[in-house]
Amino acid sequence: MNKLITKLPKSLAAFLAFVFTLVFTTITYAGDAPSAGNIAEGQKIFKANCAACHSLGANKVVGPGLQGVIDRVPSQDWMLSWIKNNNALRKSGDAYANKVFTDNNGAAMTVFDGQLTDDQIKNVIAFLAHPPAPETAGGGDQGAKTGSAQTAENSNDEHPGMILLLIIGVLFIIIVVLRTVRRSLLSLSNEKKGLPPLEDIGLWKETVKWIKTHKVHFAVINIFVVVVFVVYGWEYLWGINVTPGYQPSQPINFRHDIHAGKNGIACIYCHSGAEKGKVAGIPTLNVCMNCHRGIQGSNPEFQKEIAKIYDAVGWDPNKADYTNPKHPIKWNRVHALPDFAYFNHSQHVSVGKLDCKNCHGDVATFTTDKQFATLTMGWCLDCHRATPVHMDGNGYYTKLHDVLMKQDSTRKITEADMGGLECGKCHY
| Cα angle 146-147-150, degrees, rounded to a multiple of 5 | 85
Q: Could you tell me if 368 and 143 are in contact, meaning their C-beta atoms sit under 8 angstroms apart?
A: yes
Q: Say what the pLDDT of residue 134 is.
A: 60
- Going by pLDDT thresholds of 50, 70 and 90, the confidence category of residue 393 is low
d(C-alpha 234, C-alpha 240), whole Å: 10
Q: Is the pLDDT assigned to residue 11 strictly greater than 60? A: no
Give the rounded distance of the alpha carbon of 316 from its chain centre: 25
Q: Is the pLDDT assigned to residue 10 strictly greater than 90? A: no
Residues forming a β-bridge with 388: 414
Q: Say what the pLDDT of residue 187 is.
A: 83
Q: Say what the pLDDT of residue 359 is.
A: 94
Mean pLDDT score, 168-173: 87
- Going by pLDDT thresholds of 50, 70 and 90, the confidence category of residue 160 is low
Mean pLDDT score, 93-105: 86
d(C-alpha 265, C-alpha 269), whole Å: 7
- Going by pLDDT thresholds of 50, 70 and 90, the confidence category of residue 103 is confident
Backbone Cα Rg of the chain: 38
Closest to 249 (Cα-Cα) out of 323, 188, 331: 331
Angle between helices 76-84 and 95-103 (to 10 degrees): 60
Q: Which CATH class is domain 34-129?
A: mainly alpha
- Going by pLDDT thresholds of 50, 70 and 90, the confidence category of residue 356 is very high
321 phi and psi, to 5 degrees? -155, 160
Could you tell me which residues come within 8 angstroms of residue 101 by beta carbon, excluding any fewer than 6 positions away?
Answer: 86, 90, 107
Q: Is the pLDDT assigned to residue 402 strictly greater than 60? A: yes
Q: Is the pLDDT assigned to residue 202 strictly greater than 90? A: no
Q: Is the pLDDT assigned to residue 158 strictly greater than 80? A: no
Please report, for residues 24, 33, 290, the alpha-carbon distance to residue 27 in angstroms, rounded to integers and kept in the order given: 5, 10, 45
Q: Is the pLDDT assigned to residue 26 strictly greater than 90? A: no
Percent of the chain with pLDDT over 70: 83
Query: Looking at 94-98, 111-115, 135-139, 183-187, which range is the least confident one?
Result: 135-139
Closest to 419 (Cα-Cα) out of 393, 390, 381: 381
Q: Which residue has the higher pLDDT, 297 or 247?
A: 247
Q: What is the DSSP string of 174-228?
A: HHHHHHHHHHHHHHHHHHHHTPPPPP---HHHHHHHHHHH-HHHHHHHHHHHHHH
- Going by pLDDT thresholds of 50, 70 and 90, the confidence category of residue 30 is very low
Domains of the chain by residue range: 2-31, 34-129, 157-238, 256-375, 388-428
Q: Is the pLDDT assigned to residue 335 strictly greater than 80? A: yes
- Coil, strand or helix: which one is 38? coil
390 burial (CB, 10 Å; 0-12 / 13-18 / 19+) is: exposed
d(C-alpha 159, C-alpha 154), whole Å: 10
Q: Say what the pLDDT of residue 111 is.
A: 84
Q: Say what the pLDDT of residue 177 is.
A: 87
Q: Which contiguous run of DSSP H or E holds residue 157?
A: none
- Coil, strand or helix: which one is 108? coil
Average per-residue pLDDT in the chain?
81
d(C-alpha 54, C-alpha 63), whole Å: 5
d(C-alpha 109, C-alpha 52), whole Å: 12
d(C-alpha 274, C-alpha 283), whole Å: 11
- Going by pLDDT thresholds of 50, 70 and 90, the confidence category of residue 147 is very low
Q: Is the pLDDT assigned to residue 6 strictly greater than 60? A: no
Could you tell me which residues come within 8 angstroms of residue 373 by beta carbon, excluding any fewer than 6 positions away?
Answer: 244, 359, 360, 361, 379
Q: Say what the pLDDT of residue 294 is.
A: 86
Q: Is the pLDDT assigned to residue 198 strictly greater than 80? A: no
Q: Is the pLDDT assigned to residue 357 strictly greater than 50? A: yes
Mean pLDDT score, 45-66: 79
Q: Is the pLDDT assigned to residue 17 strictly greater than 90? A: no
